[in-house]
Structure 1
Amino acid sequence: MKKIKGELILLLAAILWGTCFVFQKMGMDYIGAYTLGAFRFIIGALALIPVMILFSKIDTKKSGKKVDLYGGFGDKHLYIGGVLCGSVLFAAASLQQIGLQYTTAGKAGFLTSLSIVLIAIITIVLTRKVQINTLIGVLLAVFGMYLLCMVEGFYLEKGDAYELAGVIFWAIQILAIDKYSKKVDGIKLSFVQFMTTGILSWVFMFLFENPQWNDIKNGAVPILYTAIIEVAVAYTLQIIGQKHTPPVIAAVILSLESVFSVISGVIILGEIMSFREIIGCVFMLLAMVIAQVPDSNAKLINKKII
């Protein structure tokens, strides 16, 4: 039951991320990648404070004993995990934003999805285990992503190098969340992660960009939308959902972000999906289902690999 709950939470995160991509792109019309990151992650972190207060009150009411709001902030694993996840998230998000200036959104989405393959490879190397259905799900997801995103053909551009570099950090971020989300409170881990990403973004903003207050005001809508929906809500859902979901399956579910991005474009902007894009969505959804089917040959496969 916990596994199903975790997967549904990750699915909700993917849906929310899918609606945010257009606002992420809009923000770059007014401000630079680091400026956008600085504001959206710090605001996202601050938005979690009332959530933490609310949950402490709920826990106090349930237990009948006062639950300390600051409980858990003395745990070293919270800061080790939060700073690690935040640093990696800063690198991944910044590279993605910079790459978006030089490549198409479709190619950025496809190249980012390759983190699924990298996570699968890392998981196999570290655990010496693999399930055939999971690997089939990964391959179907990548193929579906190709059909969905690469509608203009595949050719390398300057921004693609940034997106490919970001793949490494997206994979590390998911694996790091998998490790530390099981050790500490998810919302507090989110808070430390976002503060770390935000602070690093502020440093790089002043080093490499020249933010103007008028530009920031003009970009207020994409900044606030991505800060609340993408950062505070979706990334926190990722941490909570990954507590009970294997990293490879989590990556497959989260890759559905591109499917919901296309769907939101149809619903919100009135865009029309091509037959190729519809088939891509079908492959992506099929990948999620197949990746979760219990593999009766898993033990046998594991023994052979070991």
Structure 2
Amino acid sequence: MTRIQANLLLVFIAFIWGSAFVAQSHGMDHIGPMMFTGVRFLIGAMVVLPLALREHTALSRRGAAPTASDWRHIVLLGGLMLMGAALQQIGIVSTSITNAGFLTALYVPLVPLLGWLMLRQLPHWSVWPGAVACVVGAFLLSGAHELRLSLGDAWVLASTLPWALHVLFVGRWADRMNAPFTVACGQFFVCGVLALAWALWAEPWSWAGLQAASGAILYAGVLSVGVAFTAQVLAQRHAQASDAAIILSSEMVFAAVFGYVLMGDRLSPMGWLGCGLILVSLLAVQLLPARRVATPPPTGHP
């Protein structure tokens, strides 16, 4: 897979995640957030399980099955997924969706910063202005004119660290193990089991609520988790984490489009400007590095 193909796949992933906001909104009418998260991630694990088993068998035959250290990395990825989702959901209880949407987008500049600090990966210069433009675009798209931080905002802000770490490490570890489906299935299972245990302990639930939310759960579980999160593991083996963070932020644009078409949401002129900034930053991180590579080096005089 080429870099351009990986980036286009990331755009497709953002498209699916943007559409899943509608399903998540309807699902929350019937069950709690952790129950929804747990069930949908376990469904996603079941979707990927046949591919993971086939991959694991092939790796075992070559003597390259995941080691104990690899499994620890997979468990850590699942834990990061759960931490990001849980902290965000706790914060949303006591803050506005406007603030939550904008604060979540702050993981975008955090990814290249962590990559530089922890992995000594220096991204292309276009990533830095692109990340800033993406955050400003998220702010405008959220419709916020004034941001007052509350305790709920602090929880949402805390969720950006596990989300950024997940984006930073998922492709790196999947590439090192050469087992993208095993990584995807394993992290889904860990996240799903822990979230479901949390829900059974702390949330009221009923079979009637699960049945009422079944359509939304299946859509989010099969497409948002099974297809999109697995595709993220595949794509990030061939795309830099900093590029991926900016491209995946276009999820907000697709969410706005689906909200407009399916839920009657309308954007203000500032909201459309925010969409434009996110799309410009997306194009910049793809085209500017390619332009540098495509430009031949100057030749010296004989």
Verify: 1:145 aligned to 2:132, yes or no. Answer: no
Check the 8 A contact 1:141/1:287 in 2, yes or no. yes
Check the 8 A contact 1:81/1:176 in 2, yes or no. no
1:162-219 Cα deviation digits (max 9, x unpaired): 2111111101111120321212221221100100101111221232223222222222
Helix, strand or coil at the partner of 2:204:
coil
| CA shift in 2, pair 1:35/1:88, >3 Å | same
Check the 8 A contact 1:16/1:229 in 2, yes or no. yes
Which residue does the alignment assign to 1:224? 218
Check the 8 A contact 2:95/2:152 in 1, yes or no. yes
Runs of 5+ in structure 2 lacking a partner? 293-302
Describe how 1:147-296 pairs up with structure 2 within 5 A: 147-151=140-144, 153-183=146-176, 184-292=178-286, 293-294=288-289
Which residue does the alignment assign to 1:22? 22
**d(CA) in 1 for partners of 2:168, 2:250:** 18
Check the 8 A contact 1:82/1:189 in 2, yes or no. yes
Which residue does the alignment assign to 1:90? 82
Larger deviation: 14-23 or 24-33?
24-33
Measured after TM superposition, the shift of residue 131 of structure 1 is 3.4
Measured after TM superposition, the shift of residue 232 of structure 1 is 0.6
**d(CA) in 1 for partners of 2:121, 2:238:** 20
Amino acid at match of 2:246: V
**Root-mean-square deviation (CA), in Å?**
2.2
**d(CA) in 1 for partners of 2:225, 2:81:** 11
Runs of 5+ in structure 1 lacking a partner? 57-67, 297-306
Check the 8 A contact 2:40/2:221 in 1, yes or no. yes
Helix, strand or coil at the partner of 2:59:
coil
1:57-109 Cα deviation digits (max 9, x unpaired): xxxxxxxxxxx763337312542332111111011112222333333333222
Which residue does the alignment assign to 2:5? 5
**d(CA) in 1 for partners of 2:48, 2:70:** 16
Verify: 1:75 aligned to 2:66, yes or no. Answer: yes
Which residue does the alignment assign to 2:39? 39
Check the 8 A contact 1:137/1:290 in 2, yes or no. yes
1:16-42 Cα deviation digits (max 9, x unpaired): 101111322332222222211211111
TM-score (norm 1): 0.85
TM-score (norm 2): 0.86
Amino acid at match of 2:207: W
Helix, strand or coil at the partner of 1:70:
helix
| CA shift in 2, pair 1:249/1:2, >3 Å | same
**d(CA) in 1 for partners of 2:77, 2:56:** 22
**d(CA) in 2 for partners of 1:237, 1:97:** 24
**d(CA) in 1 for partners of 2:202, 2:153:** 21
| CA shift in 2, pair 1:258/1:128, >3 Å | closer
1:126-155 Cα deviation digits (max 9, x unpaired): 316353211111111111111111335322
Amino acid at match of 1:33: P
**d(CA) in 2 for partners of 1:177, 1:69:** 18
**d(CA) in 2 for partners of 1:7, 1:263:** 20
Identity score, percent = 30
Check the 8 A contact 1:138/1:291 in 2, yes or no. no
Check the 8 A contact 2:75/2:187 in 1, yes or no. yes
